[in-house]
Structure 1
Amino acid sequence: MEYNQQIKNRLRRIEGQIKGVLSMMEQGKDCRDVVTQLSAARSAIDRAMGVVVSENLEHCVRESIQNGEETDNLVKEAVTLLVKSR
């Protein structure tokens, strides 16, 4: 699968969030603030995973339909992948 620039940019923003958390830790910021930022980064990662899985699923379903193949298994695999990631 080829990943578009939009998802790469999303991951770069998450990378910036993580670097910000490290900076907060080095500055001795309050635990609550650090955890809040970590939670925001985790949420951003969860959303990024959802985008990657959904775009891949869409691509695979279109390809399967063109080849006259069933798509049920693809959807089940995508859901399983997302569930396991939690």
Structure 2
Amino acid sequence: MIKLEKEKKIINRLRRTEGQIRGIQKMIEDEKECIDIITQLSAVRSSIDRAMGLIVAENLKDCLENPEKDPNEQAKKMEQAIHMIIKK
């Protein structure tokens, strides 16, 4: 149940981001000020970063809470998650 709630939160965040992107497209079409467009693009970037963080955190949490899974697979998942965090 908790996992489903977290998935819903991530999906809702992505839907809001999608709406923001549509708004930015309209701003460009309406020839709004550059600074306003950049501000909205920055907000989209932050929203996506938060969604990525939630997903990476959930992946790491799963690895730590379920040690009975294949240790090699868990190590691979953890390495990928850390790489995604460092990549920024």
TM-score normalised according to structure 2 size: 0.78
Residue in structure 1 matched with residue 42 of structure 2 by the alignment: 39
TM superposition shift of 1:68: 8.4
Written as runs of structure 1 = structure 2, the 5 A alignment for 1:1-86 is 4-63=7-66, 65-67=67-69, 69=71, 74-84=77-87, 86=88
**Please, which runs of 5 or more residues in structure 2 have no aligned partner?**
none
TM-score normalised according to structure 1 size: 0.80
* Distance change in 2, residues 1:72/1:28 (3 Å): same
CA–CA distance in 2 between the matches of 1:16 and 1:4? 18
Cα-Cα RMSD: 2.2
* Distance change in 2, residues 1:38/1:49 (3 Å): same
